[in-house]
Amino acid sequence: MATVLIKNLGKYVGEEVTVQGWLYNQRGSGKIKFLIMRDGSGLLQCVIVKQDIGEDVFAKLKTVTQETSMKVTGIVNEEPRATGGYEMQVTGFEIVSIAEEYPITHKEHGVDFLSEHRHLWIRTPRQMAILRVRSEIAHAFREFFYQHDFVLADPPILTPAACEGTSTLFEVDYHGEKAFLSQSGQLYSEANAMALGKIYCFGPTFRAEKSKTRRHLMEFWMVEAEMAYCDMDENINIQEEMVYYVIQRVLNKCGNELKILGRDVEKLKSIQLPFPRISYTEAVEILREAGEDFSWGEDFGAPHETIISNHFGLPVFVHRYPTEIKAFYMKPDPNDPKVVLGADLLAPEGYGEIIGGGQRIDDLALLKQRIQEHNLPLEAFEWYIDLRKYGSVPHSGFGLGLERTVAWLCGIEHIRETIPFPRMLHKMYP
């Protein structure tokens, strides 16, 4: 007899199959019981009738508690009213392990309690749905890059220098030397792009953020791409194509999950290409028109980003930020060196910046000058500077934060739910 996943039950209507999982909930009487089983792929209502399976077997059900692990066998029936659309008429079951009294019941719990029990919280339907969407999004990125001839090239996690400023570095002892956890793979990605042309990487990155917001994690996953012979506009083109691809993929593959999450899918469906592109200076005008007292040269805060993206109701690229507020490696605009050829993508519905990217400085002298202006140690960047000595070319790239993208596409309030075990300010357990 086949052991199947709940999400695949549609292929087995009328057949007897086994589902292995955990008891999520139960109700019933002395004659008939309804067990709601979960197996990670979905929920299934299993109907057990005393008369059918016999008194002794039925009596065993008295011992089963929430989260008891068990294998249930039965005939699959269509049942439009049940979650998932199917139901199982049970012919037998095997109890694997009776669970002790489960801390997370079906009543409401506070978020502090749930966070302390994150290892169990992830078993609830909402969390499972978010994590499945996350998985789908990660696959979609990889597929997109594969289809577009990008080579996967992984940068190191332990690094000798800062990429995104020195204020958010996690320091590690590297056999007596100072090392830092990577804030971004970008600098290494530039080297990899000079070797392989178009590359991407996808891995954990670290920021010792001092702020506690619903958008910041200390450890998050970034998808980064770097392309040789690529300018700012070409860089934006590939980003919007990629983001659009991922939205379509989630709409096509994660319908059930989005339903569980109560996501307003119409908002995602209405997104079309191309995304609006405005300069930082135009964005400042939008803020002022909205009544904000904002001076040119300031960085946007979360409320500013929300005003700008609400103005369009679409993902919007903001390009040509003031050179002063951006990283050392960004190429100044030759027509106006006060601004750089960088662009951020702001997600709609107040989800803020999901991509940071731009064209890199390809000139040797200017790069050295910028490293010094940022008070960064030249020695640690010698290898990076080398890239401008040996066949330097115009090149660009970007980094997209996976968790912020998951939060947006799932339509959820807080980034802590977008990764199995979030690392938050002063919170590292479990």
Q: State the residues that interact with ligand 4AD by CB under 6 A.
A: 163-164, 184, 186, 207, 209, 216-217, 220, 222, 224, 353-357, 397-399, 401, 403-404
- Closest approach, Cβ 108 to ligand 4AD, in A, equals 27
CB of 414 to ligand 4AD, least distance (A): 12
For residue 399, CA distances in Å to 180, 193, 220, 276, 291 come to 19, 14, 12, 19, 31
Segment interacting with Mg ion (CB under 5 A) among 35-43, 89-97, 257-265, 351-359: 351-359
Q: Which does 53 bind (CB under 5 to 8 A by kind): ligand 4AD, Mg ion, none?
A: none
Only segment of 50-58, 82-90, 260-268, 355-363 that touches Mg ion (CB under 5 A):
355-363
- By beta-carbon proximity to ligand 4AD, the closer residue of 44 and 330 is 330
Nearer to ligand 4AD, 213 or 270 (CB): 213
84 neighbors 6 (Cβ within 8 angstroms): yes
For residue 290, the tally of other CB atoms under 10 A from its CB is 13
> By C-alpha distance, which of 150, 192, 153 is closest to 387?
192
16 makes contact, choosing from ligand 4AD, Mg ion, none, with CB < 5 to 8 Å by partner type, with none
Q: Which does 220 bind (CB under 5 to 8 A by kind): Mg ion, ligand 4AD, none?
A: ligand 4AD
CA distances from 215 to 58, 263, 364, 409, 414 (A): 49, 18, 36, 14, 7
Nearest by Cα to 86 from 4, 22, 1, 2: 4
Q: Which residues, 6 or more positions from 106, have their beta carbon under 8 angstroms from its beta carbon?
A: 25
Pairing of strands 219-228, 395-401: antiparallel
Q: Smallest distance from the beta carbon of 416 to Mg ion, in angstroms? A: 20
Minimum distance between the CB of residue 344 and ligand 4AD, rounded to whole angstroms?
A: 6
Buried b (16+ CB within 10 A) or exposed e, 136-174: bbbebbeebbeeeebeebebeeebebbbbeeebbeeeee
Q: How far apart are CA 272 and CA 280, in angstroms?
A: 22
21 or 356: whose CB is closer to Mg ion?
A: 356
**Which of ligand 4AD, Mg ion, none sits in contact with 61, Cβ below 5 to 8 A by type?**
none
Closest separation between CB of residue 397 and ligand 4AD, Å? Answer: 5
Residue 163 or 287: the one with the smaller Cβ distance to ligand 4AD is 163
Identify which of residues 40 and 303 has a Cβ nearer to ligand 4AD in the complex.
303
Which residues of 302-348 form beta strands (DSSP E)? 316-319, 332-333, 336-340, 342-347
Dist CA 61 CA 68 (whole Å): 11
Distance between CA atoms of residues 234 and 395, nearest Å = 10
Give the residue from 197, 19, 30, 5 showing the smallest Cα distance to 93. 19
Q: Which of residues 164 and 257 has its CB atom nearest to ligand 4AD in the complex?
A: 164
Residue among 155, 356, 357, 397 that touches Mg ion (CB under 5 A): 356
Q: What is the Cα Rg of the chain in Å?
A: 26
CA dist list (Å): 10 to 79, 200, 298: 11, 37, 55
Select from Mg ion, ligand 4AD, none the partner in contact with residue 397, using the beta carbon and a kind-dependent cut-off of 5 to 8 Å.
ligand 4AD
Strand 332-333 to 151-152 pairing: unpaired
- How many residues are there in the chain? 430
Q: CA end-to-end span of the chain, whole Å?
A: 38
Q: Which among ligand 4AD, Mg ion, none contacts residue 342 (Cβ within 5 to 8 A by kind)?
A: none
For Mg ion, the closer of residues 66 and 183 by Cβ is 183
Q: Report in angstroms how near the CB of residue 183 gets to ligand 4AD at its nearest.
A: 6
Out of ligand 4AD, Mg ion, none, which partner does residue 184 contact, by CB within 5 to 8 A per kind? ligand 4AD
* Nearest approach, Cβ of residue 131 and ligand 4AD (Å): 17
Least Å from the CB of residue 416 to ligand 4AD: 11
* Window of 28-36, 218-226, 348-356, 373-381 that interacts with Mg ion by CB under 5 A: 348-356
Those residues with Cβ within 8 angstroms of residue 11's Cβ, 6 or more apart along the chain or in another chain: 4
Q: How far is the CB of 365 from Mg ion (least distance, A)?
A: 26
Q: Which does 144 bind (CB under 5 to 8 A by kind): Mg ion, ligand 4AD, none?
A: none
87 binds, among Mg ion, ligand 4AD, none (CB under 5 to 8 A by kind): none
**Shortest separation between residue 326's beta carbon and ligand 4AD, angstroms:** 9
Chain residues that interact with Mg ion, rule: CB under 5 A? 356
